[in-house]
Amino acid sequence: MRKIIVNSTPLIALSKAGNIELLHKMYGDITVPEAVFKEITAKNDVVERKIKNSDWIHIEAINDVKSKRMYSAKLHAGEVEVMILAQEYEGEHLVVIDDYAARKTAEFLRLNLTGTIGILLKAKKQGYIKEIMPIITEMEENKIYFSDELINMVRKVAEE
């Protein structure tokens, strides 16, 4: 069974824009590594409550704790655990990560990869949302920022 393994930034960004349910609508259940869960639940905020109250978000521990040291020099614990979980499971899985260094590492490891913007583009294509730009604006109002280059690419691809 294919797993969708999500890092903290996409969960935070989608939650703050009121669109975390897109993950459930598009993929069903998702997996969050323990390090990501700890990071998100460290604050008592809307993101924490949505994560804790969602029966479709499953928290899982990595088996190969020793591998964390190999990546930890340039990546956060959550990003590392997302990639380790993807490698521990049989078959191909989707990792959802936004951080540039983590994305480059995931690409090097040949993991199937997307990010928050990729989720939004797919959601629009599949008819789950009508427009992407209002969601990105909401994210930016909640201190989730994207480069101007990325925003321009989204406008072009989404035809908005």
Q: What is the pLDDT of residues 86-117, one digit of tens each?
A: 999 888 899 999 999 999 999 999 999 999 99
Query: For 40-65, how does the pLDDT look when each residue is reduced to its tens digit (9 = 90+)?
Result: 988 877 778 888 888 999 999 998 77
Burial (0-12, 13-18, 19+ Cβ within 10 Å), 34: middle
- For helices 133-141 and 116-125, give the axis angle rounded to 10 degrees: 150
Q: What is the structure's pLDDT at 49? A: 81
Q: What is the structure's pLDDT at 66? A: 65
Q: Pick from 126, 140, 143, 135: which is nearest to 160 by CA?
A: 135
C-alpha 142/C-alpha 137 separation (Å) is: 9
All structural domains of the chain: 4-116 (3.40.50.1010)
Mean pLDDT (the chain, rounded)? 90
pLDDT: is 153 or 47 the higher one? 153
